[in-house]
Structure 1
Amino acid sequence: MSVSAKSFQHWLSSVAGSMSHAAVCRAAGIKRSTLAQQLVRGRVSLATIAAVSRSLELPVVTSLAAFPAFQDLASGITAPTQAEALSQISDTDLLQEILHRQAAAENDAAPGTFALSGPHHRSSVRAWLDAVDTSELRQKVARQASIAPQNLSAQITANRLNAELAIESARIAGVGLTNGLVATGFLSPAEAGWAPDARELALHQVADSELVLLASHRLDVLGRVLRRSEDDAAAVQNIWENLG
């Protein structure tokens, strides 16, 4: 997803003043040639806007909301549901929590605590979509964004989703518009308006049975992904052996 170069230039002049493009790029950690190419093509990526915003210590969501396509983004910030917060906890951390609870129950003690790993884990996009899924969410997103379902599926399998699709998914699902951007790693939870302990609270409040069922679902999905990967690897190996 991108915005027009003209609107970017207007926004940049309003927030960076007289800073040169070279200075902006140095501060944002962007190659000068990258920005120049985007301006020549007439489209500037959202990643560039985010990088510039962070370098100027501006809220990324507020910066994006300055562009017409995202003007409702800031007002659309809503705390994640419990399911959304849990979706941004890795499989390993879910299993760790189960083990802690089991050990505590066996020893008649309080469950131990541990620091959660980052929210953007190996299946964070799929987990978030599953957490907010309404009837045929993926199909609705594909139709609304005029994208082939198989292309959307490929993004999800690769654990990525462009900003436009993440926001559109949130709109259709009726959840906070910035929440999908956390799942994709585009925004940090803090930048998306999440409470600092949102994920920890969701994890501690979920019932044992629900936690086990969630972990079981994640492992089932992981098992299917690994099976496909192994089948693909075996097929490639078979081709090489036949060429042999």
Structure 2
Amino acid sequence: MSLPSKAFQHWLHGIAPNTSTADVCRSSGVKRTTLAQQLVRGKVAESSLVSISRAFDVNPFDALAHFEAYAALRGTPVPPTDAELVSQVSTMDMLRAVVDRSEHPDGLRTLDLAGTPHPSSVRNWVDAIDDGDLRHRVSDAVGIAPQNFSAYLTSNRLPPELALATSREAGVGPAGGLVASGLVTEAEAGWPSGARLDALNRLSDGELALLAGERLQAFGKSLRRQEHELDRTQRIWDNLA
């Protein structure tokens, strides 16, 4: 999904009425040729809108809601569930939390969590809201093959239209996937400051340990795949030498 160029230009005129396209691109970091190509094609990427919004002190979440395709973002924000919040805690931070609890079982937990997104944020978010059939419902809703949907999750990417469809099919607020994919930040999506840490601290010791174990296992599998790929690549180069 992308934004209609006419609607985008109307929006841009509203926030920067006397600013040239060159100045818009210079301020936002969007390449002038890139934006020009998008306008000619009639489809402006959401990432361009987000960059321009930030450059002109406009909340990208609100800017997206201006467009009909993102009407789901309008109105009172739907708070993320604890499962969504915890999904956006990185594996390393989760392991640190396990150690912190073992060393300070009765202490106040104030870990300095890394920002979003993290290396498995998209897959973890989908896993957190999946009732067992979510992937197939999303695939049917947007007309994408399940294996292609899975490929996005493996690469920790999620196009905005898939993020919204996944939220809708899971019955959660529309912001989670946009945060997990890195299109908008937690603050831009209206997530309360410290919400991820609060949700992490609400996990019992057992819940935290089990979840950290699952994350570590998934991390190990990912590392093994990378090692196999590197080994296979090296063998190819050795044979060519």
Shift of 1:168: 0.9
3-state SS of paired residue (2:104): helix
Unaligned runs of 5+ in 2: none
Normalising by structure 1, report the TM-score: 0.93
Alignment of 1:191-230 (within 5 A): 191-230=188-227
Q: Determine the structure 2 residue equivalent to 1:237.
A: 234
Q: RMSD of aligned C-alpha atoms?
A: 1.6
Is the Cα contact below 8 Å between 1:76 and 1:177 reproduced in 2? no
Q: Determine the structure 2 residue equivalent to 1:60.
A: 60
Q: Determine the structure 1 residue equivalent to 2:30.
A: 30
Shift of 1:206: 0.9
CA 1:242–1:63: 2 relative to 1, 3 Å: same
- The CA deviation string for residues 119-139 of structure 1, in whole angstroms up to 9 with x for no partner, is 211111111111111232112
Q: Determine the structure 2 residue equivalent to 1:80.
A: 80
Shift of 1:163: 1.0
Letter in 1 for 2:158: L
* Distance in 2 (alpha carbons) for counterparts of 1:194 and 1:135: 26
Whether 2:158 is the aligned partner of 1:147: answer: no
Q: Determine the structure 2 residue equivalent to 1:170.
A: 167
Is the Cα contact below 8 Å between 1:90 and 1:121 reproduced in 2? yes
Q: Determine the structure 1 residue equivalent to 2:118.
A: 121
Shift of 1:169: 0.6
Whether 2:72 is the aligned partner of 1:110: answer: no
Normalising by structure 2, report the TM-score: 0.94
Is the Cα contact below 8 Å between 1:76 and 1:176 reproduced in 2? no
Letter in 1 for 2:44: V
Q: Determine the structure 2 residue equivalent to 1:132.
A: 129
1:179 to 173, 176, 180: 176
Stretches (4+) displaced over 6 A: none
Is the Cα contact below 8 Å between 1:86 and 1:203 reproduced in 2? yes
3-state SS of paired residue (1:77): coil
3-state SS of paired residue (2:3): strand
Unaligned runs of 5+ in 1: none
* % identical equivalent positions: 46
1:159 to 144, 156, 160: 156
Is the Cα contact below 8 Å between 2:110 and 2:197 reproduced in 1? no
Is the Cα contact below 8 Å between 1:101 and 1:111 reproduced in 2? no
3-state SS of paired residue (2:72): coil
Letter in 1 for 2:31: K
3-state SS of paired residue (2:118): coil
Whether 2:95 is the aligned partner of 1:95: answer: yes
Letter in 2 for 1:194: W
3-state SS of paired residue (1:72): helix
